[in-house]
Each structure stands twice: as structure tokens, then as C-alpha cells.
Amino acid sequence: MGQGPIGTTLTNARLLTPHGVRTGWLRAEDGRITALGTGEAPTGEAPERDLGGKWVLPGCVDIHIHGGAGAAFTDADPERALEIVRFNREHGVTTVVGGLVAASPRDTLDQIAALAEVADAGELAGIYLEGPYIAASKCGAHDPALLREPDLAEFAAMLKAGRGHIRMITVAPELPGALELIRAAAAEGVVAAVGHTEATYDQTRAAFDAGATVATHIYNQMRPLHHREPGPIAAALNDERVTVELINDGVHVHPGAAAMAFAAAGAERVALVTDAMAATGLGDGEYTLGRLRVRVVDGQARIPETGQIASSTIVLPDAVRRAVHTVGVRLETAAHAATAVPARALNLAGVGSLTAGNRADLVVLDDKLEVAAVMHRGAWIREP
């Protein structure tokens, strides 16, 4: 792993800034972006690296991911969690929120405690609970035997185990006690998301009124859109308060439906996520997600017994590239959806945009939008 100098100036770069594309330079010092501008960089300030016109994006921010490189956040092992974080950094994802799936109450607390240790060290941006308070009929790759109704006492125990690091929890609004749990989450600064749900349009709206602000992987494992009962999909796409997650791997969502999400919600409300599992980076084979067996064939992860899509095997820059080449959105929009939008949705400060004062987390892309280099906290993980 290449350790760069304390100060570095990147020149001849196409910078994707909050104000659009700027051809120019960026300076990183002591792990932070200290300055950026157009044209020629001021000379003599720091060692220069000419990027030859390559794209520079903020480091990607994945707020919905379960594993990678053979490890899973459900392993309840801080070292295994670090393996996932490091794997993602090498591939351009410099901010990761560790995702858990439905488990028993005891296992859930053990898993949360292990991830809190990694978050305490500053290696993980937080913890995401995808369940256990979700609908059995829309459980997807969650073990239905481990699902349960929202429980405020159990949620309080989760918060205690998480030591302030739980960032988001997915809840099905139609379950008894769901709205109370959403309100409790919002009061504790935890983002409530609506997902894995049979909720009607009105039930979903009630969840957003109670404080939910995210729709978990829009389209997937939720009541489908119908013109007389539009359900959670329309409720989320129509609500300016809501960020919609989108798994853009070419398997979970058709490009036409992905394009509709971008068109309906707009560039400020679509957050690209991977929902990636342990198989990511390893290829086809047999794996587990929680307690369930998963088979990966041609990069597609499914539960063998049902054929149900289990997770994805991509990293977030893959979703950005696919959004441009297959869905047809502009690179600025796709990159925004993988950086600033998810960071804002989970209130992650100092990441997600090329802004002076933010962490010097950068991804360099070539003309094919492949990852050419990665910087984390001002040090090169992969050198250009």
C-alpha cells in the first residue's frame, strides 16, 4: 500500500465538485482537502501529481453493504469487518456503513458490539440494521424464522450495544409498533428506513410522517407499483423528504426502472448502494448470508431453494459506471448518487464531496470510468 507525502497536489484533473465539473487541481494535506481550483495549480506548495485529464471523484460512500472478500459483517469479528473495509477502500469505497441482517436477539447484540469496536477505531462509519423488524412475505434473503415485531426494549438494547454507532434501521411500516419504533429511532438520531414491506401507500406515508427518511433498495422486496394501489414505491419517489436507495447491478433493477427512479426522485434523492455480500471480489461459488445458503453463478447471488436474489457482488464504482453506460445518467449525477447523497442521508460529516476541509478521500477514474487510483485520508491506497 503506497503511503503518499503529507501534502500532495493533483493537477490536470477533471474534478467532480459540488458546483459541477472543474478542470484544474486539488491539494491534500494532513489527510484533508485544503484547496482546489481551476487552471494551473499554484507552484511550490506541495509535490505534484499530473493525472493526465482523468476524473477525480470523492471517495464512494456505501451505506448498505453486508460483506466482501469472503467476510461478512455478521461474522461478529472485528478483524473480519476490517477485511471488508480494506477491500472496499482498495476499490474506491472509502466510507462504509456495516450492514447486518436479521439474527436472534443475542447474535444481533454480539454483531453490533463487534462492529461498534471497529467504528470506535474510526474504520467503519457506522452500523446498519436491515431488520429484524421486516415483513416475512418480503423477507428476501433474511431468515423468516428470525423476523419479529418492532420492540422498543430490544431496540434500546441495540442502541446500548452500538455505543452511538447505529446509523440506520429498516422497518416495515405495516407491522404492529412500527411507527413507534420509527419515532424512537428518529429521537435517537438513527435514520429509519422503509423496506422489506407490504405497506400500502398510506401506511408508507404515515412512516415518513413519523420520521422515516430512506427507502431501502427501492423496488426490491416491497409491494409492487400499481396504478390503483401505488404502495411504497410511489410513496417514496413522490416524497421530497425521502432518499431512495438503488441497487444498480443490472440484476436487482432493470435499467429502465433505474432511469425512472432517477427521473422521479431527482439527482438529490437517489443513493446508489451495493447490498453486497461476502462473495464480492471472489467469484462464483457457495456462500452464506446470515444463516442462509447462497449460490453465486455468473456474479448473481441467489438462494438455491427458491431462486430468490440474495444480494449483489459489485462494489460501488461498478454501480456508478453502469449508471452512466447502461442507465444513461450523466457521470456527475451517478457520482453524486454514490457520494454526497448517501453521506447526507446518514448525516456522515466530512465525506462525499470535493470540498476544502473534507477528508481527502478520492477516487480517480479513467476514460472508461474504471478505478485508476484511490486516496484515503490523503494517502494513496492505489497510486495513479
pTM: 0.95
Equal fold, 7-57+353-382 vs 60-345: no
pLDDT score of 330: 97
pLDDT tens-digit readout, 306-338: 888 888 999 999 999 999 999 999 999 999 999
Residue carrying the nine cell digits 431453494: 305
β-strand pairing of 243-247 with 270-273: parallel
Which is it for the CA torsion 338, 340, 343, 345, positive or negative?
negative
**Which sequence positions are flagged as catalytic?**
275
CA 206 – CA 29 distance, rounded (Å): 46
pLDDT score of 289: 79
pLDDT score of 3: 44
pLDDT score of 303: 87
| CATH 3.20.20.140 at 60-345, yes or no | yes
What residue ranges of the chain have pLDDT lower than 50? 1-5
Binding-site residues for Zn(2+) sit at 130, 196, 217
What's phi and psi for 156, nearest 5 deg?
-60, -40
The ranges assigned to domains in the chain are 7-57+353-382, 60-345
The CATH T-level fold of domain 7-57+353-382 is Urease, subunit C; domain 1 (2.30.40)
Helix 78-90 to helix 105-120 angle, to the nearest 10 degrees? 60
pLDDT score of 362: 98
The 3 state secondary structure assigned to the chain is: CCCCCCEEEEEEEEEEECCEEEEEEEEEECCEEEEEEECCCCCCCCCEEECCCCEEEECEEEEEECEECCEEHHHCCHHHHHHHHHHHHHCCEEEEEEEECCCCHHHHHHHHHHHHHHHHCCCCCCEEEECCCCCHHHCCCCCHHHCCCCCHHHHHHHHHHHCCCEEEEEECCCCCCHHHHHHHHHHCCCEEEECCECCCHHHHHHHHHHCCCEECCCCCCECCCCCCCCHHHHHHHHCCCCEEEEECCCCCCCHHHHHHHHHHHCCCCEEEECCECCCCCCCCEEEEECCEEEEEECCEEECCCCCCEEEECCCHHHHHHHHHHHHCCCHHHHHHHCCHHHHHHCCCCCCCCCCCCCECCEEEECCCCCEEEEEECCEEEECC
pLDDT score of 305: 82
Binding-site residues sit at 130, 196, 217
pLDDT score of 141: 87
| Residues found in the chain | 384
